[in-house]
Structure 1
Amino acid sequence: MTSSPTATETTTAAAPHPLDPLTTAEIEAARAALDAEGKVTASTRFPLVLPDEPDRHAVLAHRPGDPVSRRVRVTLLDTATGRSAEALVDVTDPAAAVLVSYRDLDPAADGQPPVLFEEYETCDEIVKADAGWRKAMAERGVTDLSLVIAAPLAAGNFGIASEAGRRMLRSLTFLRCNESDNPFAHPVGGLVADVDLTARRVVRLVDTGAVPVPAECGRYDAESTGPARTDLRPLEITQPEGASFSLEGAQLSWQNWRLRLDFNAREGLVLHEITHRDGDRDRPVLHRASIAEMAVPYAEPDPARNWVCYLDSGEYLLGRNANALRLGCDCLGEITYVDAVLADDLGNPETLHNAICIHEEDIGLLWKHTNIFDDFAADSRRARRLVISYIATLGNYDYGFYWYLHQDGTIAFEAKATGLLQTSAAEPGAGSPHATEVAPGLLAPFHQHLFCARLDVTVDGPRNTVQEVDVVRLPTGPGNPNGNAFTTKATPVADSGEAGRVADPSVGRRWRIVNPGVTNRMGTPVAYTLLPDTGPLLLAQPGSSVAERVAYATKHLWVTRYRPERRYPDGDYPNQHAGGPGVTAWSRPGESLEDTDLTVWHSFGPTHLPRLEDWPVMPVDVCGFSLRPTGFFDRNPALDLPKETGDGSGGHCHV
Structure 2
Amino acid sequence: MASAPQKATPSCCIQNDSASIRREAASAVSVAAAAATDVSQDWNVSSTDLRADHQNRKIAMASLIRPEPSTNASTKGIQIMPRAQTSHPLDPLSAAEISVAVATVRAAGATPEVRDSMRFIEVVLLEPDKHVVALANAYFFPPFQPSLLPRTKGGPVIPSKLPPRRARLVVYNKKSNETSIWIVELNEVHATTRGGHHRGKVISSQVVRDVQPPMDAVEYAECEAVVKDYPPFREAMKKRGIEDMDLVMVDAWGVGYHSDADAPSRRLAKPLIFCRTESDCPMENGYARPVDGIYVLVDMQNMVVIEFEDRKFVPLPPADPLRNYTPGETRGGVDRSDVKPLHIVQPEGPSFRVNGHYVEWQKWNFRIGFTPREGLVIHSVAYVDGNRGRRPVAHRLSFVEMVVPYGDPNEPHYRKNAFDAGEDGLGKNAHSLKKGCDCLGYIKYFDSHFTNFTGGVETIENCVCLHEEDHGMLWKHQDWRTGLAEVRRSRRLTVSFICTVANYEYGFYWHFYQDGKIE
- Output the TM-score relative to the length of structure 2: 0.74
What's 2:319 paired with?
A: 216
What's 2:404 paired with?
A: 296
What's 1:82 paired with?
A: 177
**How far apart are the structure 1 equivalents of 2:186 and 2:468?**
36
Which amino acid letter does the alignment assign opposite residue 244 of structure 1? S
Which amino acid letter does the alignment assign opposite residue 174 of structure 1? F
1:18 pairs, out of 82, 89, 92, with 89
Superposed displacement of residue 205, structure 1: 3.0
Kept after mapping to 2: 8 A contact 1:342/1:349: yes
User: Which shifted more, 95-104 or 226-235?
Assistant: 226-235
Q: CA 1:163–1:124 in 2, change beyond 3 Å: closer, same or farther? A: farther
* 1:106 to 2:201 alignment: no
* 1:42 to 2:116 alignment: yes
Matches within 5 A, 1:187-198: 187-198=290-301
Kept after mapping to 1: 8 A contact 2:367/2:381: yes
What's 1:246 paired with?
A: 353
Q: Deviations over 1:531-589 (max 9, x none)?
A: xxxxxxxxxxxxxxxxxxxxxxxxxxxxxxxxxxxxxxxxxxxxxxxxxxxxxxxxxxx
Superposed displacement of residue 296, structure 1: 0.6
Give secondary structure in 2 for the equivalent of 1:288: strand
**How far apart are the structure 2 equivalents of 1:164 and 1:153?**
14
Matches within 5 A, 1:66-215: 66-93=161-188, 95-96=191-192, 97-107=200-210, 111-161=211-261, 163-179=263-279, 180=282, 181-215=284-318
Q: CA 1:126–1:351 in 2, change beyond 3 Å: closer, same or farther? A: same
Which amino acid letter does the alignment assign opposite residue 199 of structure 1? N
Give secondary structure in 2 for the equivalent of 1:132: helix
What's 1:267 paired with?
A: 374
Give secondary structure in 1 for the equivalent of 2:225: helix
**How far apart are the structure 1 equivalents of 2:313 and 2:10?**
55
Superposed displacement of residue 268, structure 1: 0.7
Superposed displacement of residue 395, structure 1: 0.2
Superposed displacement of residue 367, structure 1: 1.5
Q: Which has the larger radius of gyration?
A: 2
**How far apart are the structure 1 equivalents of 2:319 and 2:368?**
45
1:53 pairs, out of 107, 127, 133, with 127
* 1:33 to 2:104 alignment: yes
Q: Deviations over 1:193-231 (max 9, x none)?
A: 221101322233354411211122332311423332222
Superposed displacement of residue 358, structure 1: 0.5
What's 1:64 paired with?
A: 139
Q: CA 1:146–1:174 in 2, change beyond 3 Å: closer, same or farther? A: same
What's 2:33 paired with?
A: none
Give secondary structure in 2 for the equivalent of 1:203: strand
* 1:9 to 2:11 alignment: yes
Superposed displacement of residue 144, structure 1: 2.4
Matches within 5 A, 1:521-532: none
Kept after mapping to 2: 8 A contact 1:274/1:284: yes
Give secondary structure in 1 for the equivalent of 2:414: coil
Superposed displacement of residue 353, structure 1: 0.3
**How far apart are the structure 2 equivalents of 1:207 and 1:410?**
55
Superposed displacement of residue 238, structure 1: 0.7
Which amino acid letter does the alignment assign opposite residue 285 of structure 2? N
Matches within 5 A, 1:222-233: 222=327, 223-225=329-331, 226-233=333-340
Unmatched 5+ residue regions in structure 2? 1-8, 15-62, 66-84, 141-160, 193-199
What's 1:389 paired with?
A: 496
**How far apart are the structure 1 equivalents of 2:240 and 2:458?**
42
Superposed displacement of residue 11, structure 1: 5.2
**How far apart are the structure 2 equivalents of 1:186 and 1:277?**
53
What's 1:320 paired with?
A: 428
Q: Deviations over 1:164-205 (max 9, x none)?
A: 411122211111122322212221122232211013222333
What's 1:560 paired with?
A: none
Kept after mapping to 1: 8 A contact 2:191/2:201: no
**How far apart are the structure 1 equivalents of 2:472 and 2:207?**
55
Kept after mapping to 2: 8 A contact 1:174/1:184: yes
Q: CA 1:60–1:128 in 2, change beyond 3 Å: closer, same or farther? A: same
What's 1:490 paired with?
A: none
Kept after mapping to 2: 8 A contact 1:267/1:291: yes
Q: CA 1:162–1:271 in 2, change beyond 3 Å: closer, same or farther? A: closer
Give secondary structure in 2 for the equivalent of 1:376: coil
- Output the TM-score relative to the length of structure 1: 0.59
What's 2:505 paired with?
A: 398
Which amino acid letter does the alignment assign opposite residue 272 of structure 1? H
**Aligned length, in residue pairs:** 402
Give secondary structure in 2 for the equivalent of 1:137: helix
Matches within 5 A, 1:550-561: none
**How far apart are the structure 2 equivalents of 1:265 and 1:201?**
28
**How far apart are the structure 2 equivalents of 1:117 and 1:383?**
43
Superposed displacement of residue 58, structure 1: 2.6
**How far apart are the structure 2 equivalents of 1:224 and 1:117?**
30
Superposed displacement of residue 104, structure 1: 0.9
Matches within 5 A, 1:454-493: none
Matches within 5 A, 1:513-592: none
Superposed displacement of residue 140, structure 1: 2.1
Kept after mapping to 2: 8 A contact 1:262/1:271: yes
Superposed displacement of residue 295, structure 1: 0.4
Give secondary structure in 1 for the equivalent of 2:486: strand
Kept after mapping to 1: 8 A contact 2:107/2:115: no
Kept after mapping to 1: 8 A contact 2:117/2:174: yes
**How far apart are the structure 2 equivalents of 1:197 and 1:51?**
28
Superposed displacement of residue 106, structure 1: 0.9
**How far apart are the structure 1 equivalents of 2:376 and 2:202?**
27
What's 2:28 paired with?
A: none
**How far apart are the structure 2 equivalents of 1:206 and 1:354?**
44
Which amino acid letter does the alignment assign opposite residue 188 of structure 1? V
Q: CA 1:51–1:19 in 2, change beyond 3 Å: closer, same or farther? A: same
Q: Deviations over 1:481-523 (max 9, x none)?
A: xxxxxxxxxxxxxxxxxxxxxxxxxxxxxxxxxxxxxxxxxxx
Q: Deviations over 1:378-408 (max 9, x none)?
A: 2221101000000111000110110110000
**How far apart are the structure 2 equivalents of 1:292 and 1:164?**
23
Q: Deviations over 1:277-324 (max 9, x none)?
A: 112511110011110111011021112221001111111111111110
Kept after mapping to 2: 8 A contact 1:324/1:354: yes
Matches within 5 A, 1:339-418: 339-372=447-480, 374-412=481-519
* 1:333 to 2:441 alignment: yes
**How far apart are the structure 2 equivalents of 1:43 and 1:36?**
12
Superposed displacement of residue 368, structure 1: 1.8
What's 1:495 paired with?
A: none
Kept after mapping to 1: 8 A contact 2:277/2:319: no
Q: Deviations over 1:65-101 (max 9, x none)?
A: 4324200000111223322211000002272410000
Identity fraction in percent: 39
What's 1:258 paired with?
A: 365
